[in-house]
């Protein structure tokens, strides 16, 4: 699970084997455009061509109008 701490610019990553009990695993912080909040994080598991391992790709939305107290339409 990815959790956004919007104004701290942190995406915390948690793991769970049952979908109920979660354990902190890692975080992603202070990358990209700062001064604008992080929101709506998505983790997508993708295969690596020719390997049995998987890679995780993270998408982070930013609120372009957050400094003006509103969302962009």
Segment 1-50, tens digit of pLDDT: 999 988 888 899 999 999 999 999 999 887 776 667 788 888 898 988 88
Q: Could you tell me the pLDDT band of residue 73, with boundaries at 50, 70 and 90?
A: very low
**What does the pLDDT read at residue 6?**
83
CA separation for the pair 38, 63 (Å, rounded): 7
**What is residue 23's predicted lDDT score, i.e. its pLDDT?**
97
Three-state DSSP at 68 gives helix
User: What is the rounded average pLDDT of the residues 39-68?
Assistant: 81
- pLDDT the model gives residue 64: 65
- Residue 22's pLDDT is what? 97
């Amino acid at each position: 699970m990815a959790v956004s701490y919007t104004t701290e610019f942190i995406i915390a990553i948690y793991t769970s084997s049952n979908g109920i009990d979660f354990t902190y695993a890692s975080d992603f912080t202070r990358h990209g455009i700062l001064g604008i909040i992080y929101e709506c994080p998505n983790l997508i598991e993708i295969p690596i061509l020719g390997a049995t391992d998987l890679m995780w790709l993270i998408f982070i939305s930013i609120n372009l109008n957050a400094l003006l107290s509103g969302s962009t339409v």
